[in-house]
Amino acid sequence: MKLSILFKTLALLVFSLSSTASIIYSPVTANTPANSPSNAQQPKQFKLTLSGHTEPVRALTLSPDGKILASGGDDKTIKLWNLSTNTLLHTLTGHRDRIKSIIITPDGQTVISTSFDNTIKFWNPQTGKEIRTINEKAGVNGMVLTPDGQTLISGSSDRTIKFRNLKTKKIDRILKTDTTALTISRDGKTLFSGGENGGKIRIWSMATGKQLRSFTPPLPKKEDLINGSERASAPITLAVSSDGNMLLSGGYDDSYNSGGVRSTDGKSFKAWNLKTGKLVHNLSLGTSIDALVISPDNQTFIAGGMGRNIIIQDMKTLKKISELIGHGGGIYGLALSRDGKTLYSGSGDKSVKVWQIKP
């Protein structure tokens, strides 16, 4: 994983472009900056760009009512956007390192963020003020909130998953396992965690805290091996369908590297049928996958990674439905509106773009 971090950092240095706190609307005029897509390049789904971050954008989340978008970046800030007017509401400052993930509580009253500074911060979205900070001994690799908004679950590099009661502010449960990514079922009954151990994904009961099962990706076929030590990479992102039938995993892909440098199986996308426990898809989408979202009807998924384009594919057949072109850097954050019509993407080009993917 150290190699993946190095390559991603180099990619970000190449693709990062300067931006200002402005909003760029389509269509593009003759005065469009050189780093913006031209008319010929703009897909019909593109709506506008939200600019303001000064470093790559890593995390995106929508408020439950869909009126506010929160974006977090390597510039150590979180920006809150009013989606009715497409204006910047607040810039939240206080983290001392890059933003890792963001959550907005179901009541819309609190923004929760994690950073590489080993803290979890709570913010008032109306005022933009920090409410409190939780200091961790190790970096927080993933964070989810139960659907009822009562329990915050965080996975840290100290090989623990902590369950915090947000009312009492106490830790109710600690699971001992490594964590690179987390997600939770829509009904709040099942937690999914990904780890370093050959890309293993663990499935936990929220009621008991017991591990129900685990999925370990198969080793590559002998004829596909180059140096003989390739394994599935640890999940960078996980997504579970709202009907609880499918689990998607996105990871690092170094299949383009030569022998001796490769460490993964070169298959960045995996899909598991949660009813049968079978791995139904195990392949490369042509790039590392840093962000995955599933449509509300569970028919399609949207993926983004170190490649500059966003792909929309059929969940069952993997047929490509659409490809969104316009970013100048890798795609590291995705958020989808509840009706599945509007997509928001955060990129290494320091921008957030808004796409109309359905009429």
Please report the domains of the chain, with CATH numbers, ordered by start residue: 2-356 (2.130.10.10)
The number of beta carbons lying within 10 Å of the beta carbon of residue 2 is 7
Residue 161 pLDDT > 70, yes or no? yes
Please give the structure tokens belonging to residue 83.
């989606």
What does the CA dihedral 164, 147, 241, 274 come to, rounded to 10 degrees? 50
Which residues lie across from 211 on neighbouring strands? 204
Collapsed DSSP state (helix, strand, coil) of residue 254: coil
Q: Which residue has the tokens 């990674």?
A: 305
The reported pLDDT for the residue numbered 44 is: 63
Residue 310 pLDDT > 90, yes or no? yes
Q: Cβ contacts of residue 14 below 8 Å, gap of 6+?
A: none
The reported pLDDT for the residue numbered 15 is: 36
Higher confidence at residue 224 or residue 149?
149
- Cα separation, 98 vs 226, whole angstroms: 35
- Cα separation, 149 vs 104, whole angstroms: 9
The reported pLDDT for the residue numbered 258 is: 64
The reported pLDDT for the residue numbered 219 is: 80
Rounded average pLDDT over 167-174? 93
Percent pLDDT > 90 in the chain is 77
Rounded average pLDDT over 114-118? 96
What letter would DSSP give residue 304? E
Contact 333/60 with Cβ under 8 angstroms? yes
Higher confidence at residue 296 or residue 253?
296
Mean residue pLDDT of the chain comes to 87
The length of the chain, given as a count of residues: 359
Residue 23 pLDDT > 60, yes or no? no
0.75 exceeded by pTM: yes
Burial classification of residue 5, based on how many CB atoms lie within 10 Å of its CB (0-12 exposed, 13-18 middle, 19 or more buried): exposed
Please give the structure tokens belonging to residue 268.
């960045």
Residue 41 pLDDT > 50, yes or no? no
pLDDT (tens digit, 9 = 90+) per residue, 5-19?
A: 333 333 433 333 333
Residue 316 pLDDT > 50, yes or no? yes
Rounded average pLDDT over 98-116? 97
Contact 268/233 with Cβ under 8 angstroms? yes
